[in-house]
Structure 1
Amino acid sequence: MGWDYALVHLYYNIPPAALLTACYYPFCTKLDVYKILFLVIIAVASTTPWDSYLIRRRIWTYPSDAIVGPTLFNIPAEEIFFFVIQTYNTSLLYLLASKPTFHSIYLRGEKLLHDGRRLRTWRWIAAVFLVAAILLGAAMIAQNGRGLYMGLIIVWAGPFILSLWMLAYQLLINLPASNTLFPVLAPTLYLWIVDTIALRRGTWVIQSGTKLGWHLWDGLDVEEAFFFLVTNTLIVFGLVAFDNALAILNTFPCHFPAVAPLPSPVQLVKALLFSPSHYQDDRILGLQEALKRLRKKSRSFYLASGCFEGRLRIDLILLYSFCRVADDLVDNASSGAEARQWIVKLTEYLDICYAKTAEKSTSRDAFIRSAFPAQAQSALLLLPTAYLSPTPLYDLIRGFETDLDFSTGHFPIADELKLKIYGSRVAGTVAELCLELAFHHSNGQNGQQERQEIVQAGGRMGIALQYVNIARDIAVDVKNNRVYIPTSWLDSKVLRPEDVLKDPSSLMVEALRQRLLDEAMDIYKEAKGAIELLPSQSRGPMRVAVESYVEIGRLLRESGYKVKAGRATVPKRRRLRVAWTALRKG
């Protein structure tokens, strides 16, 4: 009886697990736990027979003075624990790296000819290589000599890797290297170092007659190095396949109407076997465009969007995309007359969407393609109006009309009431729609009365965030001849809107910026309690969305903040810290 192997875990494997757990805990969801347990069970079940065979063949052994004693199929308890801890650590690293990733945009249907053909070509090239490797491994086993250990690794792992590759090749090829290579290579290098220490101490021993005799470096056999590379590859491939299946299930509701919060293995396999020829390429392209708009126009909500899951995340991105496109159509119009035409067309679009006719969908699509520019069409086509209330959307369009009043030389924000109405229309409405989506996609038990109260609080929170937005963008708005500070406030400082246009950075304007922020913070404090009443799936992410934007207001109260393109910007590390703290609250 000995403690050497147990101490390897205590010194080298458990501390990284504790650190990764502490880092990821605020972001962890039930779905993440499900993924990890799924992978751990598969890892233990698939590795145990193979490991037991190697031990019985004495290809590797564990000195009796290095292990505690209990075994399962001749495998020491410490080795079983290693299957678990390695899978756990690599899985957490993958989840950390891929948390912001929007997997839907990496799918490719066969109608996307260039990408589809490229992916299919690489799929079969890699498949041929893997089959050849498996055959080589079988030949090494047949020789029963120095290549036996390497052959057994290849023949055991090769079929798993081949199967996962054939099922999840799209994401394995298209995902960023930070999602795939990093969570493979980082733990592999770490385990190479740990394995070198263990081999030199004699914690486990590899029979010399079964090894090739090659070393990656002194003390590390090439077979051991290859084993850890392969096992971490298996873990990451398995997680990517899981995310590939989820992306298919969530991206194509017309093919998969109902998706369980924790999809069964059968449903996951069905998704992976779903032919790319049936993917909706227009929807994939629309989601790509929507995410691009989000990333470019709102770093705060882009960060928050990564905390939402499944179809709720997709629909929130689509909602933002519509709001952004509609706003840009009006703001970027060449004249006031053209801008008003866009408002008329957007109103007609909503009229068609909410018309109770059998031909609604066909007429809507035809109208969008004939009335709107190509770059705006996907945002209108994909807006999930089926479960969004019409009133907030109509009010949003009415908010754009207020912006148009500036083009006439008029300053429509006469007093605080007008400011609140404007904030309600252009931001409170969006907050209400976000909450509607949260309730639609959740299995929460909120009653109808409580939902209405939460939505109303969300509308007030939207006003607070719009005040922050106005406070941040005073200089930017001036370039468009707009002043959103109430004229009545300006009067109290013996100012006119024209004075703000001339000098948006004056001390008196700065004082009014702080007043806007005071108003925003008061509303924020009054309304933020409603977040804690949201369904658990959306509570933390919604808190991140709010806190990320409120942080801009906090930044504006500090001196020396960074300005980019006329706007105060929250540094990336600070935004991440805000998100982590917001999620840690539960």
Structure 2
Amino acid sequence: MTPVFGRIPAATPISLAMAYEYAFVHLAYTIPLAGVLTVILWPLLTRLDLYKTSALILIAFFATLPWDSYLIRHGVWTYPPDAILGPRLFGIPAEELFFFIIQTYITTLLYILLNKPILHAQFLTNHDEISSQVRRIRSLGQLLLSLAILAGAILVAQGGKGTYLGLILIWAGPFTLLTWTLSGYFLLRLPFTCIAMPIFLPTIYLWVVDELSLGRGTWAIESGTKLGWCLWGDLELEEAVFFLATNALIVFGLVAFDRGMAVLDIFPEMFPGGPGNMSLARLVKAILTDPGNYDMKWIRGIREAVITLKRKSRSFYLASAVFPGRLRIDLVLLYSFCRVADDLVDDSPSGAKALEWIQKLTEYLDRAYGTTGKQSYPSADVTRYVEKNFPIVTRSALELLPTELLPKKPLSDLLEGFKMDLGFTHAEFPIEDEACLQTYAQRVASTVGELCLWLVFHHTSKRLPAEEELRLMQAAITMGHALQYINIARDIQVDAEMGRVYLPTNWLSEEGLKPQDILKSPNLSKVEVLRQRLLDLAFREYDKSRPTMNLLPDEIRGPLIVAVESYMEIGRVLREKSGVPSKTKKGRATVPKPRRLWVAWKNLLVS
């Protein structure tokens, strides 16, 4: 374990104060940092995060215990009685045992925080996708780690000043080599900062803590087992290597864990026990599964869905980070389908072509759900139809839509909403009154809310009573109205540039306006009056449906509330600024990022 705390101190009188020196390090440096990270991350932690953290702490504790005990019993370092409180386990002071736990906890929380937005399933790969450069990097890592282990063995065999460094290398090296071998390709595909920062930030912090402690003369390493080289000041080389090695070990272990969970999430049918059954045996089996058995069609489809959402629905992609495993994947696939279908229609060069895409999407749904009229279609036929009729970049969004978990009607209604979008011409505006507005919102937004709930009901571990599910479904429909009204209020200018006016025509008449007036001047002062009226309607719908969301299962309630509140915050910004947003992007109001983070954290905390 940490050489910081395995010292013979400089000659000082034994005192009660000195007996608390090691404990003081925890009170002053490790516990406060752990506390800050806990407060920041607590609302975001899922059951899986807690399971992962607990597992890593137990592994780190019991892997370090015999090594640390060996060092003490063989006199590599000692703990003077005037620096510790006294209780020991296998010769290891209680403060040292606590360090096994607190360092792992800090590094794990930082890793979880930085990786929370990442959908790890997209980074799985098989051998066919791996470039020669990546293969060389992995092989080089294996070679360097093997040489480090060999060097450690030589140093220990020689004894003397290289003993401590050698013991670090032969203890940490095999664990690191194992995790690198199992998950190196996966690790190399992850964003660099998501790996580097959880390793180097805690390492540098502990280097500084160690340097401060040594500078005060609180402890000193046994001179007979160290090389005597300092990284800077009083920071010994061995200490620097130790902190770097242990934090790398923790992060590599977390990467292996996430890789295993990603495999379980995408391919639950490969592992007995069911998708909701979390066990160490299933996780280990997933980690050891040959990548050649991966269905890369699924993985590539998830990658394409993530790219689509990052480009078109980044807010939803980030909000999805707090949903558990397979539910998040299915939600991403659902939203990807909705975005792709919407883009096919909206980006069409003509109304006729847009209607053609709607017809093809309708035919796709008929085939995907097993019937067109009286004829049944197997899944192979669905694939052939998609390949024949849709662009390559859209195919995975259609083929991977989890139709087996979703009813057909909301998807068909969504297409009807797209048809309403096509009803806009310079002479015709289909949103005649508030009833038309609600119909439109129900088709393009409430349907998505219904579909999301179907996925939630399927993936949650506890099934709700039928009456509560029905209430939640109605609340999803009403909340869909609210969210779409917010969307319309935000995008009046953008929609006008597309020749569309979603403000009810009878509302416009009350203000002495026509839809054509909005097309010419979407920023008229009277438009602002109508924007606020629409926002009032949105918040009335929100107020009717929001309390019902408290019926949602515990593990889903917070994430869904965050998704809703993040969007409603756009409406609050529009209200506060009387329609003049704090920031705009292509004419659309946006919520400042710090405020979005605060909304998410606050609602997760109280949910």
What is the TM-score of this pair, normalised by structure 2?
Answer: 0.94
Specify whether residues 262 and 156 from structure 1 end up closer, same or farther in structure 2 by C-alpha distance, changes over 3 A only: farther
Aligned counterpart, 2:10: none
1:86 aligns with 2:92: no
Distance 1:462 1:483 in 2: 19
Give the 3-state SS of the residue equivalent to 2:428 in structure 1. Answer: coil
1:13 aligns with 2:34: no
Which of 43, 54, 76 is 1:37 aligned to?
Answer: 54
1:162 aligns with 2:162: no
Which of 406, 410, 414 is 2:424 aligned to?
Answer: 406
Give the 3-state SS of the residue equivalent to 1:216 in structure 2. Answer: strand
- The answer to whether the 8 A contact 1:109-1:277 is kept is yes
Aligned counterpart, 2:250: 235
Give the 3-state SS of the residue equivalent to 1:557 in structure 2. Answer: helix
Q: Shift of the alpha carbon at 1:567? A: 0.6
- Write out aligned runs for 1:83-162 (5 A): 83-112=100-129, 115-162=130-177
Aligned counterpart, 1:221: 236
Distance 1:308 1:38 in 2: 21
Task: Give a deviation string over 1:340-394, Cα, whole Å, max 9, x none.
Answer: 1111111111101111687521110000000111111110011000010111011
Distance 2:454 2:606 in 1: 23
Q: Shift of the alpha carbon at 1:254? A: 4.5
- Write out aligned runs for 1:377-388 (5 A): 377-388=395-406
Which of 342, 352, 357 is 1:342 aligned to?
Answer: 357
Moved more, 328-337 or 419-428: 328-337
Aligned counterpart, 2:88: 71
Q: Shift of the alpha carbon at 1:572? A: 1.4
Specify whether residues 160 and 268 from structure 1 end up closer, same or farther in structure 2 by C-alpha distance, changes over 3 A only: same
- Write out aligned runs for 1:53-452 (5 A): 53-112=70-129, 115-256=130-271, 259-261=274-276, 263-355=278-370, 359-407=377-425, 409-452=427-470
Aligned counterpart, 1:24: 41
Task: Give a deviation string over 1:50-106, Cα, whole Å, max 9, x none.
Answer: 000111112111111001111000000110001001111111111111111111111
Specify whether residues 400 and 257 from structure 1 end up closer, same or farther in structure 2 by C-alpha distance, changes over 3 A only: farther
- The answer to whether the 8 A contact 2:483-2:567 is kept is yes
Distance 1:199 1:433 in 2: 60
Give the 3-state SS of the residue equivalent to 1:147 in structure 2. Answer: helix
Question: Which consecutive unaligned segments of at least 5 residues does structure 2 have?
Answer: 1-15
Moved more, 386-395 or 440-449: 440-449
Distance 2:350 2:224 in 1: 83
Task: Give a deviation string over 1:301-350, Cα, whole Å, max 9, x none.
Answer: 12211111201000111111000111111111111111111111111111
Task: Give a deviation string over 1:373-423, Cα, whole Å, max 9, x none.
Answer: 111111001100001011101100111110111147420001100100000
Distance 2:325 2:425 in 1: 41
- Write out aligned runs for 1:482-561 (5 A): 482-559=500-577, 560-561=580-581
**Count of aligned pairs:** 584
Give the 3-state SS of the residue equivalent to 2:231 in structure 1. Answer: strand
**AA matched with 1:85:** I
**AA matched with 2:203:** T
**AA matched with 2:409:** T
Distance 1:259 1:479 in 2: 50
Aligned counterpart, 1:50: 67
Specify whether residues 66 and 259 from structure 1 end up closer, same or farther in structure 2 by C-alpha distance, changes over 3 A only: farther
Distance 1:257 1:314 in 2: 20
Of all paired residues, the percent bearing the same amino acid is 53
Task: Give a deviation string over 1:192-248, Cα, whole Å, max 9, x none.
Answer: 111223334454442111111110112111001110111111111111111111111
Task: Give a deviation string over 1:154-193, Cα, whole Å, max 9, x none.
Answer: 0000000001111111232111122111011111111111
Distance 2:412 2:271 in 1: 31
Give the 3-state SS of the residue equivalent to 1:568 in structure 2. Answer: strand
Distance 1:457 1:257 in 2: 36
Distance 2:368 2:64 in 1: 54
Q: Shift of the alpha carbon at 1:275? A: 1.3
Give the 3-state SS of the residue equivalent to 2:270 in structure 1. Answer: coil
Aligned counterpart, 2:492: 474
Aligned counterpart, 1:573: 594
- The answer to whether the 8 A contact 2:268-2:275 is kept is no
Distance 1:259 1:206 in 2: 52
Specify whether residues 85 and 262 from structure 1 end up closer, same or farther in structure 2 by C-alpha distance, changes over 3 A only: farther
Q: Shift of the alpha carbon at 1:130? A: 0.9
Specify whether residues 258 and 409 from structure 1 end up closer, same or farther in structure 2 by C-alpha distance, changes over 3 A only: farther
- The answer to whether the 8 A contact 1:52-1:75 is kept is yes
**AA matched with 1:493:** E
**AA matched with 2:165:** M
**AA matched with 2:62:** A
Q: Shift of the alpha carbon at 1:257? A: 7.1
**AA matched with 1:184:** I
Give the 3-state SS of the residue equivalent to 1:58 in structure 2. Answer: coil
The RMSD of aligned alpha carbons is 1.5
Moved more, 189-198 or 239-248: 189-198
Question: Which consecutive unaligned segments of at least 5 residues does structure 1 have?
Answer: none
Distance 2:218 2:251 in 1: 27
Task: Give a deviation string over 1:409-467, Cα, whole Å, max 9, x none.
Answer: 42000110010000000000000101111111001231112111101111110111000
Distance 1:470 1:123 in 2: 50
- The answer to whether the 8 A contact 1:108-1:116 is kept is no
- The answer to whether the 8 A contact 1:60-1:204 is kept is no
**AA matched with 1:91:** T
Distance 2:303 2:415 in 1: 25
- The answer to whether the 8 A contact 1:444-1:536 is kept is no
Moved more, 123-132 or 490-499: 123-132
Distance 1:474 1:27 in 2: 34
- The answer to whether the 8 A contact 1:187-1:232 is kept is yes
